[in-house]
Amino acid sequence: MPTRLNPYLGFRNNAKEAMTFYQSVFGGELSVSTFGDFGASDDPAEKDKVMHSMLEAPNGLVLMGADTPDSMNYTPGDNISMSLSGEDEAELRGYWDKLAEGANVSEQLAQAPWGDTFGMLTDKFGINWLVNIAGKQQ
């Protein structure tokens, strides 16, 4: 899989509804995982919220989205991030290291509950970045 750069949309409580709508617009396959699926929230009220969703359209368009946990700031209009993902660990770590210069790192690049290496930061220009390095497939 080559490295991809995708828009990542943030929502408060309606990510599944929004992503299903985008699927009706663009077609393709939609995958949805909740915070409960990964045991990623101690708050029972958040277990059914979308932790990650990805729409892959037949024409190659990829759109990702998630619900923003109640404990995190959510401002409509500022709810988009850039997501770098792929299998080339050296390439993606190189991007991470450069983006992290002068950045506010909200989640260090580390092993994630879903088996990949993942990190989040806001670069020195205020752009949110997510980096996901695919784990070794069995």
102: in domain: yes
Provide the residue type at 46 as one letter.
Answer: E
65: in domain: yes
21: in domain: yes
* Residue 19: predicted pLDDT: 93
Q: Do residues 22 and 69 make contact, with C-beta atoms less than 8 angstroms apart?
A: no
Q: Which two tokens stand for residue 49?
A: 């919220």
- Would you say residue 49 has pLDDT above 90? yes
107: in domain: yes
pTM of the model: 0.75
138: in domain: no
Instruction: Report d(CA 37, CA 47) in Å as an integer.
Output: 8
CATH number at residue 127: 3.10.180.10
| Closest alpha carbon to 133 in 113, 101, 110 | 110
Range of the domain at 33: 4-133
What number is the average pLDDT over the span 41-53?
90
Instruction: Report d(CA 122, CA 115) in Å as an integer.
Output: 23
- Total structural domains in the chain? 1
49: in domain: yes
pLDDT digits over 102-117, tens only? 999 999 999 999 999 9
pLDDT digits over 51-87, tens only? 999 999 998 889 999 999 988 888 877 788 899 999 9
27: in domain: yes
Backbone torsion region of residue 126, taken as left when φ is above 0, otherwise alpha when ψ lies between -120 and 50, otherwise beta: left
* Residue 96: predicted pLDDT: 96
32: in domain: yes
